[in-house]
């Protein structure tokens, strides 16, 4: 069919004409990334019958105030869209085209959820809020092309797993700023440009679309390693219990040459204690290995013990969060390359910052595997002389 006569920016043209299997859109605020990619998907689905495009977000509430709202605005903005899109199902969050194509909006709780469906096109929206494990599964099940967009608050898997590792023939990189959006009001432009003087960090990330570092990041003493050294000594396993919203997180913590090495073994929602116990031997955890758990879960710890495992609650004491963080900051922490969820937490675990700019306490988010790591630190590193200071 003919092109839909819509108002578009240069970002639309760049994404629509892309030929690589992965199109990475790194950009500042109000550059029009999400809006333009949605326009591209609508155009592609209008041209190609019986295709499926999936917009993946961190969660459905975030999609509803972002990508879904933008889609509805695009749909209602032109009469031509009314003639190609048959209906939108707000319960299941998908649009049905008259030619049989589907545009759906989804979120996945973990990589297992992401394994269930296939599609022709994917759009990983605000991708730095999606784990690599999920993104990898989505891309593996996308037949033609994956679009990715994000504000570059810090480097993450798009840089480390795609740009750094895949051949240039497989991906295309587009960096955009507010200047690429011809439809912005003067008021918004002035507000963004005021960050040059008032907030250099915001100007770097949200104004210029350049990679920054999150304000108030708790840990800066970690790095990615290819593998755990063969001679590394296992200190203990750390286990943080979870269920419906929070994942259960199990990590192995090793010591080698004065540094800590950490390997993510389990990061999954929906597991009851019996499920965790059944997985332990598959993950290589012996019944004689020490598993340090959240002491606030005595019933769960007792179930592990009755199954024959050497489990104990961490001795927390007062101010244990700060103590555990301070202990871990004394060491270089090497995170195995496949431990994508733990890396995600390290990047996004930040302090609350008050109006005076003072760091207060860590925000209770992005800390499930990190809590498991902290349990091991409190139990095995307390009153120990640091092996190597960062």
pLDDT per position as a tens digit, 245-267: 789 999 999 999 999 999 999 99
Question: HSE-up of 159 (CA within 13 Å, CB side)?
Answer: 14
Strands 233-240 and 222-225 come out as: unpaired
Per the CB < 8 A criterion, the answer to whether 205 and 151 are in contact is: yes
> Domain-by-domain residue ranges, the chain?
10-207, 222-380
Give CA angle at 90 (84, 96), nearest 5°. Answer: 25
Q: Per the structure block, which two tokens stand in for 292?
A: 């340090």
Other C-beta atoms closer than 10 Å to the C-beta of 91 total 5
Q: What is Dmax (Cα atoms) for the chain?
A: 72
pTM of the model: 0.63
Length of the chain: 390
How far apart, in whole angstroms, are the C-alpha atoms of residue 159 and residue 335? 17
In the CATH hierarchy, which fold is given to the domain comprising 10-207? Answer: Rossmann fold (3.40.50)
Q: What CATH architecture is 222-380?
A: 2-Layer Sandwich (3.30)
Alpha carbon dihedral 346, 112, 135, 31, in 10-degree steps, equals -90
Which pLDDT belongs to residue 317? 66
Burial 198-218 (b: 16+ CB within 10 A, else e): eeeebbbbbbbbeebeeebeb
Per the CB < 8 A criterion, the answer to whether 157 and 166 are in contact is: no
The stretches in the chain having pLDDT less than 50 are 1-2, 384-390
How far apart, in whole angstroms, are the C-alpha atoms of residue 338 and residue 175? 27
Which pLDDT belongs to residue 143? 98
Q: Per the structure block, which two tokens stand in for 25?
A: 């859109």
Which pLDDT belongs to residue 344? 83
């Amino acid at each position: 069919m003919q092109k839909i006569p819509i108002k578009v920016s240069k970002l639309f043209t760049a994404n629509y004409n892309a030929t690589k299997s992965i199109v990475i859109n790194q950009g500042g605020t109000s550059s029009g990334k999400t809006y333009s990619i949605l326009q591209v998907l609508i155009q592609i689905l209008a041209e190609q019958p019986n295709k499926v495009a999936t917009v993946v977000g961190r969660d459905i509430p975030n999609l509803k105030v972002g990508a879904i709202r933008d889609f509805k605005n695009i749909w209602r903005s032109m009469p031509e869209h009314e003639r190609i899109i048959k209906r939108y199902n707000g319960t299941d969050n998908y649009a049905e085209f008259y030619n049989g194509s589907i545009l759906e909006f989804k979120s996945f709780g973990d990589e297992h959820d992401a394994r269930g469906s296939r599609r022709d096109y994917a759009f990983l929206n605000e991708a730095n809020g999606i784990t690599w494990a999920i993104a990898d599964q989505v891309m593996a099940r996308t037949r033609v092309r994956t679009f990715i967009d994000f504000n570059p608050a810090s480097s993450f898997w798009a840089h480390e797993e795609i740009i750094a590792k895949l051949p240039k023939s497989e991906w295309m990189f587009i960096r955009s700023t507010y200047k690429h959006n011809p439809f912005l009001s003067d008021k918004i432009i002035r507000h963004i440009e005021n960050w040059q003087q008032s907030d250099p960090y915001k100007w770097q990330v949200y104004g210029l679309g350049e990679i920054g570092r999150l304000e108030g990041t708790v840990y800066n003493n970690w790095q990615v390693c290819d593998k755990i050294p063969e001679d590394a000594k296992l200190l203990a396993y750390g286990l943080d219990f979870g269920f419906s919203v929070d994942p259960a997180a199990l990590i192995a913590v090793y010591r080698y040459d004065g540094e800590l090495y950490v390997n993510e073994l389990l990061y999954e929602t929906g597991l009851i204690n019996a499920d965790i116990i059944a997985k332990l031997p598959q993950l290589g955890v012996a019944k004689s290995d020490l598993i340090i758990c959240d002491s606030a879960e005595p019933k769960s710890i007792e179930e592990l013990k009755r199954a024959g495992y050497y489990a104990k609650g961490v001795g927390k004491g007062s101010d244990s969060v700060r103590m555990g963080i301070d202990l871990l900051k004394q060491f270089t922490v090497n995170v195995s390359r496949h431990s994508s969820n733990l890396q995600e937490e390290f990047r996004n675990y930040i302090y609350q910052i008050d109006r005076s700019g003072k760091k207060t306490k860590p925000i209770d988010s992005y800390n499930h595997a990190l809590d498991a790591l902290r349990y091991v630190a409190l139990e095995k590193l307390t009153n120990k002389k640091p092996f190597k200071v960062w």
